Structure 1
Amino acid sequence: MISQGLRASPEGIRAAKTALTDKTWSQHKLATALGITRQPVSKFFAGESISRSCFVQICQQLGLSWQKVAGLPEDVAFEVTTKAQFKGADLDTLVREVHQKRQDKIQDQCNILQILDIAHTVQLMDIYTNINVLEEITSLQWREISDLLKDFKSESDFNQLGGYKCQRRLPGLEAVLRHSKLMVLGKPGSGKTTFLQYLAIECNKGELQVNRIVAFIRVKEFAEDAKSDSELNLLNYISQEFLSCGVEQESTKILLAEGKLLILLDGLDEVPAKKADEVTREIRRFTQTFYKNKFVISCRIAAQKYRFQGFTEVEVADFDQEQVEVFAKNWFVAVGLKSREDEEARGNLFINQLHLPENQHIRELAITPLLLHLICLVFQVKDEFPLNRAKLYEQALNILLVRWDEVRGIKRDRIADNLTLGIKKKLLFQLATITFEQEYYFFEQERILQLIADSLKPLQIDNEAVMKAIEVENGLLVERAQGIYSFSHLTFQEYFTARKIVESYPNYALNNLVSHITEKRWCQVFLLTVSMLPNANEILQLMKQKIDLLVASDERLQYFLTWLHQKSSSVSTRNKAAGVRAFYLVCVERSCCDRDNAFVYTSGYDLECALVGNIAFDPDLVLDEFLFSTIACINELDFAFEHALNDALDNVYALLIAFDKAIDLVVDPKLKQVLQKLKKQLPKIDSNPEKFRDWWQAKGKAWGEQLRDMLIKYRNIGYNWQFNEQQKELLQQYYDVNKLLVDCLNSAVCVTPIVRQEIEETLLLAIADIENVRNSCING
């Protein structure tokens, strides 16, 4: 038999009085909000019995569990309220009927994506990429900056710092199956909403939680649709949603009471501040009342303040390489307007170009789905990445600062009227520049608050609120551990630093920037600065002067550069002189006698390629290429035999092939005769490998010296330069900064032809030769 009334327990009355005080309400105001007389409210607080409906309404308005206030076990309470209404009914049949009625609505609500800057709609399942989650929330971990920097060997490690790559990555779907109440946290654009929509579609198809019916609720819309606090009622909201699909309210209540719903609450962070507390209380009350259901809530990680009882929190992980590739392939097919075959080919081209070394900084942004979408969008225009990366980064910045919220109709609460978008950008540029110059990739909260205070001192704004806004709303600052922050992407820190330099020009002394020219971590700042300056003449000339002075005082290196000029000038070629000098510089490195201490570490002819594109291999260059290769093989063979390596014979065959090709290309009859004679001295490798080994160990060194002497005599190559360690280090720096200079020259939007010509003609020259070139230009 069902009780006709309920009374509050002593503990329940105390909880109710506390809740009333928190709201700063009187009993009269509570009655007015509920639209009932004062009498049942007075009886409620006196512990007297009142009708069940009034009792439940009062508790809901106070954000309390009515079962707990009444001192009833929740399981018993559900049985009392539902079984009488549902006596003898077939619950499974009801689930199937309601599922069928809801199917079209969920499909319409969740399977259509309106993607940023794409005019047509896209089916979610055509583009969706499975996400992973981290079971340990990064920002909750107690770490020191030294812990975060432990694995930091180069800038490419930035996104794997602080043990992030060691954390266990759990498939998002597995986390949903494992936990009945799940809070999915993530940075802006990390794919939280898309994930919840995917869950809704999978449940709707019967692939996930087959015995449950899905309810997808955008928390922002739930808050907006409520005209007053009393209307912030999830039970009514879901009932109305189901009613629109032909499901009676009583059926909805039965399904909720029996735990037959998968309830997805998306975007908790999008609720306006004035309603945030009430919405949070309603979600807490609802999830405790209807605890048998399965819940997934999404929220930006920095915005999550209240921790809901019984909920497991996970963090959406950045995309890994495989996920980036899957997303990109799906994206071009789903978004592109050409045939599937053409778009698949474009997706493969995108992936191939993305993995090129020069696109490392774009790859860094691609780990965030929203930014990966932007990168695909930009690539789609010309089937290549833009040469001017600054424009891409500016678009990414505007998306995170403004457009991502705009397209979804989200209006964040303003911290202050005088904190404009322009001021916010300038603040970011200032923070990035100060921290980057001091080589701080991570900084404690106190430090960043002080920097904000210094930058915004005239505005008198809450500094912590500003920091949280940048973190929560824009995702440009990320809490990497308790109280330790960094920029979300190192690319942004570099870009903001460059923007600060450009916006401060000409007051900013470019010599300050040029003083960092040999520091590799500054390379991107140089490239971005040059690409954004209205006139790049001054900085390019300062860079060239600094580079030339780098090796000016070392006589041995000046002699080497003089030889480099003489040798390059002696060959017949269609290539630019500087490109040929770069070619011979790399050839010398590759034929260096000291295998372990080569002075230029480069994966290819990247400097000469930057100068002339793909270098045209004229006969002289091809011949010298094979001769240098022969010398390199000799050095490898010496090393292999000395250390008894198994691949020694491979080096013998490589030597013979390179030497034969060189002999075939020689035009000078005297040199050809000398080389052929040297070739005949080599024993036959195929007949007796051991005999060749013995001969090489006895006579190989002398044979190699003879070859070098002949190459010096006839081709002016083959020198053993014997640079010391300091000289090798200087040459490495010299090569790297010349490559940087050429890259800057190629990326500069505005540089006069005269300055460009002077820099190109004097690259990789000794100081004396530079003066000669300049004098000849003046006299000419």
Structure 2
Amino acid sequence: MRRTLTASPQGIQLIKKTFRNKKWSRDLIAGKAGCSRQTIWSLLNGNPIDCDTFMNVCRELGCSWEEIAVLSGEADLEENIDLELFVQKLREIVKSDLETRCGTMRILDMTQPVGLSHIYTQVNILEKIIGRRRKDLDELFNNCNLEEFERFGLGKVTEAKIPAKEAVSKYRHLMILGKPGAGKTTFLKYLANQCNEGKFQGDLVPFFVTLKDFAEVENQPGLFTYLSHYILKQKQETLEQVFSQGKALILLDGLDEVLDRHSERVLKAIRDFSTKFPSNQYVMTCRIAAKEYVFEQFTEVEIADFDWQQITTFTNNWFRTKVIKPETFLERLEKDEPIQELASNPLLLTLLCLAFEESGDFPGNRAGLYKEGLDALLKKWDAKRGIRRDEVYQKLWVQRKEDLLSKIAWDTFAPGEYFFKQDKAERYISEYIRNLPGANTDEEALQLDSEVVLKSIEAQHGLLVARANQIYSFSHLTFQEYFTAREIIIVRQSAESALQELVNHIFEKRWREVFLLAVAMSSNADKLALLMKEKIDKLIANDEKLQQFLQWLNEKTKAVNISFKAEDAQKIQDIISFYNNINLSRSLYLSRSLYLSRSLDLSLSLSLSRSLSLDLSLSLDLSLDLSRSLDLSLDLSRSLDRSLNLAQKCDRELYQELQKLNDRLPDKENEKKFKRWWQANSNSWREDLRAIMIKYRNIGHDWQFSDEQKDLLKKYYRANQLLTQCLHQECYVSREVRQEIEETLLLPIAESDRRRSSTL
């Protein structure tokens, strides 16, 4: 292959005309092009000259070298150009366009575009499509501990992942499938940039094609013509060898965005082009379940959800130049599992970052935050990018889709069906659409419609997804919980029977998020809050010993004798929690009590914090028999010293009694002697300590609860915590109802009734 080009007769005339128009001499153009006057003479006489010099002369004249050179077909091209040099020239031509189209990203409500290189986070690929796995319901449920309610078991994927860039290198023809917002387009733009900058496949010409634009271009050209005329604006003869020799990186984005009326033509164009030029590198993206297609030469893979490491990388990139530190965002995210779940989707993670950026925290009304995420998937994500989808069922607009999803969520979440078979999902859909005005009630038609609707919800919105072959779930448990609450509050309009049905689940841990969302969604949550309180109180209303315990708890917290303002209700609950914890099960709750003690130290008066600290210290003294420390004497010595120090400041008589107990202990320096003494005398010593604690601090009672009573108390306490959390989020509950609940929380039934009657 010679590195020379020859001017055609028409090209020579064009050069001479340009000379006359510019009034340039041969010497002048020779100087500008860096060649001799003899070279210009050879060019104008139709002799071959050096390829670089030929192109330099044309550039200086403002002419396209393809218009000047002799290019009579593939044979002439092979004779006249250096392919590698031509590829580099084409790379220069596309560089600026790719930087404009692929160098930035702007998502949802971002006020300005951001450089892709500043925010990009490496994505991973699953080489096996999740929805095609041959698994049954039992296998999927085995990943979810329903008793402990492991949220992240639902989307757990055990298949191996590889970096997406590695997958592109591994497979020459690659189809990347993924849920909406999974990062498919961003990854394709990243590849285009990497190739453009010579960091990936730097010997190829990158072509980034938005398939929606290709589908809608006038005259309906084939893909080869589109790449030649609409992207490179080059003659087709000059490009055919580039494609034939596999010198192109063809990036085809958004097959799912092509409307049905263009679909057949676009699919044929891709097949024809990739069949004619198989040696090029191809990467195409499409939403899962969006199209029925067969590309025999393409390997299909799935883009994986973000893991915690990817979430961290994205967050660090996002907040790198912001006032808010990424650590603040990540710390809050890690503590809130339902919100953290959403962060596995890059689009929803972007939404969370935008929301957090506004106030330095997630919104107090989590229902509003989730609705914003759902709006992004149901409406905004396509609308912001000018994407129009084919309506698969004309009567199923957005609100009706939400109502349908609410019905499915309630009917599956209530019995604990986090996974359900495809035919069951289709039955839910069929039952819903048969009741719409003007619906076709023919069973066969309903079956076809329901299947199409299910696939469209999966493909267009990603809210229902295939977890295995013909087995579905909501894409995030958070969304299933949201739609479950929506069914009660929005669809059933908070009817008393619906609220009562919800309240029946108040003692089940897995319903916690549904209650928080239901209260937050309610325009007035008075009725729901009072039903929750009534249900909680009834749990232990008939157990006399548990009622006695609540009476003690009430007396103990009142004995703290501190005046609170109305806004201190949460601190009161913390004190109640503190005393409940250190008495209910000392071995289990001491760490929690210690945390509460330190928290209250910071927020309440010095006298109160000393009182709490003394009670905690004494409880630790009493619990040392449960200790597995290698140095029991040292632990006891430290704990008693703290109790003595606090008692000396709070209660002189208590201090004297504790000092007597301390004096009975043998020499703590002799560990063997101390252990022998402890083995012989610890029971009586502890009982004496217990008697002192009961007399002076009213703590340390041995309630001797049965296992059933302990279980009831834990359920009762957790449900009260949930009720408190519901009231302290951003929601509407009237002042009167809020005050009534807060003042009677954890009170025995008799005391609650007395307070209510006194207010009537």
Q: TM-score range by the shorter chain?
A: 0.7 to 0.9
Matches of residues 147-546 of structure 1 in structure 2 within 5 Å?
147-154=139-146, 157-161=150-154, 164=157, 166-228=158-220, 231=221, 233-244=222-233, 247-333=234-320, 340=321, 342-343=322-323, 345-356=324-335, 359-458=336-435, 459-460=439-440, 462-503=449-490, 504-509=492-497, 510-546=499-535
Displacement of 1:481 after TM fit? 0.5
Partner SS state of residue 293, structure 2: coil
Counterparts of 2:288 and 2:598, CA distance in 1: 45
CA contact (8 A) 2:125 2:303 kept: yes
Gaps of at least 5 residues in structure 2 are: 1-72, 441-445
| Structure 1 residue corresponding to 2:130, chosen from 126, 138, 152 | 138
Partner of residue 734, structure 2: 752
Segment drifting more, 701-710 vs 263-272: 701-710
Report deviation, 1:325.
1.7
Aligned to 1:693: 675
1:20 maps to which residue?
none
Q: Is the alpha carbon distance of 1:234 and 1:577 closer, same or farther for their aligned partners in structure 2, counting shifts above 3 Å?
A: closer
Q: CA deviation at 1:648?
A: 4.7
User: 2: CA distance between counterparts of 1:537 and 1:615?
Assistant: 29
What whole-Å deviation, never above 9, does each CA across 1:658-681 have from its counterpart, x for those lacking one?
A: 434433433x22111111222233
Work out the CA distance in 1 between the residues paired with 2:462 and 2:729: 29
Mapped partners of 1:106, 1:653: distance in 2? 72
Report if the CA contact (8 A) 1:255-1:261 is conserved: yes
Q: 1:634 touches 1:655 (CA, 8 Å); kept in 2?
A: no
Q: 1:310 to 1:489 in 2, by over 3 A?
A: same
Q: Deviations over 1:612-671 (max 9, x none)?
A: 997525524533433333433542x32345xxx5465664465245434433433x2211
Asked whether the 8 Å contact 1:183–1:313 carries over to 2, the reply is yes
Matching residue's letter, 1:511: Q
3-state SS, counterpart of residue 747 of structure 1: coil
Q: How many angstroms apart in 2 are the aligned matches of 1:440 and 1:727?
A: 30
Aligned equivalents of 1:423 and 1:705: distance in 2?
66
Instruction: From the superposition, tell whether residues 653 and 306 of structure 1 become closer, same or farther in structure 2 (CA, over 3 Å).
Output: farther
CA shift for structure 1 position 682: 3.0
Distance of aligned partners of 1:329 and 1:569 in 2 relative to their CA distance in 1, 3 Å threshold: same
Aligned equivalents of 1:772, 1:209: Cα separation in 2: 80
Code of the residue aligned with 1:348 in structure 2: it is: E
Q: 2:559 aligns with which of 567, 570, 573?
A: 570
Amino acid at match of 1:525: V
Distance 1:683 1:92, change over 3 A: farther
SS class of match (1:441): coil
Distance 1:441 1:505 in 2: 25
Q: Structure 1 residues 305, 174: closer, same or farther in 2, change over 3 A?
A: same
Question: What one-letter code is carried by the residue in structure 2 that aligns with 1:260?
Answer: K
1:98 and 2:90 matched:
yes
Cα distance between partner residues in 2 of 1:765 and 1:106: 68
Q: 1:604 deviation in Å?
A: 6.0
State the partner residue of 2:691.
709
User: SS state of the match for residue 413, structure 2?
Assistant: helix
What amino acid is aligned across from residue 395 of structure 1 in structure 2?
E
The offset of 1:592, in angstroms, is 5.6
**Equivalent pair of 2:154/2:477 in contact (CA under 8 Å):** no
Any idea what the Cα deviations from partners look like across 1:260-319, whole Å, max 9, x if unmatched?
Answer: 111100001111111212211221121121111101000101214223122222111111
- Secondary structure at the residue paired with 1:524? helix
1: CA distance between counterparts of 2:98 and 2:759? 74
Closer, same or farther: CA 589–112 of 1 in aligned 2, 3 Å? closer
C-alpha distance in structure 1 between counterparts of 2:161 and 2:741, whole Å? 50
Q: Cα–Cα, structure 1 residues 531 and 594, in superposed 2: closer, same or farther, change >3 Å?
A: closer
Within the candidate set 620, 635, 639, 1:655 is matched to 639
Q: Secondary structure at the match of 1:277?
A: helix
1:425 & 1:348 partners in 2: Cα distance?
35
Q: 1:411 to 1:522 in 2, by over 3 A?
A: same
Give SS of 1:86's match.
helix
Deviation per CA, 1:168-205: give whole Å up to 9, x if none: 12111111111111111100000000000000000111
In structure 2, the partner of 1:560 is 549
Report the AA paired with residue 268 of structure 1.
Answer: L
Secondary structure in 1 aligned to 2:251? strand
**Residue type of the partner of 2:240?**
K
Residues 371-419 of structure 1: per-residue CA shift (max 9 Å, x gap)? 1111111111111111111111111111111111111111111123322
Q: How many residues align?
A: 672
- SS state of the match for residue 732, structure 1? helix
1:742 aligns with 2:734: no
Q: Deviations over 1:197-238 (max 9, x none)?
A: 00000011110012111111011111111434xx2x111111
SS in 2 for 1:303: coil
SS at the partner of 1:217?
A: strand
- Residue 768 of structure 1 is matched in structure 2 by 750
Residue 77 of structure 2 aligns to a residue in which SS?
coil
Give matches, 1:20-99, under 5 Å.
82=74, 85-87=77-79, 89-99=81-91
Secondary structure, counterpart of 1:153 in structure 2? coil
1:760 Cα offset (Å): 0.9
Q: Does the C-alpha gap of structure 1 residues 581 and 254 become closer, same or farther in structure 2, counting only changes over 3 Å?
A: closer
**CA distance 1:617–1:718, shift in 2 (3 Å):** farther
The one-letter code matched in structure 2 to 1:512 is E
Q: 1:608 to 1:413 in 2, by over 3 A?
A: farther
Q: Distance in 2 between matches of 1:363 and 1:514?
A: 26
Is the alpha carbon distance of 1:755 and 1:592 closer, same or farther for their aligned partners in structure 2, counting shifts above 3 Å? closer
* Residue 445 (structure 1) shift: 0.9
For 1:673, which of 656, 666, 678 is the aligned residue?
656
Residues 200/604 of structure 1: CA separation in 2 closer, same or farther (3 Å cut): farther
2:104 maps to 1:112: yes
- The answer to whether the 8 A contact 1:130-1:171 is kept is yes
Structure 1: gaps of 5 or more residues: 1-80, 334-339
TM-superposed deviation, 1:603: 4.6
1:496 shift after superposition: 0.9
Give the match's secondary structure for 1:85.
helix
Residues 191, 369 of structure 1: 8 Å contact kept: yes
TM-score, length basis structure 1: 0.81
Q: Is contact 1:663–1:676 with CA below 8 Å preserved after alignment? A: no
Q: Which residue in the other structure is 2:63 paired with?
A: none
Task: Give the equivalent residue in structure 2 for 1:337.
Answer: none
Q: Do 1:134 and 1:168's aligned partners in 2 also have CA atoms closer than 8 Å?
A: yes
Describe the shift of the 1:369–1:450 C-alpha distance in structure 2 as closer, same or farther (beyond 3 A).
same
> Aligned equivalents of 1:242 and 1:421: distance in 2?
37
Q: Percent identity?
A: 40
Q: 2-side partners of 1:646 and 1:124: how far apart?
A: 56
CA distance in 2: counterparts of 1:606 and 1:541, whole angstroms: 30
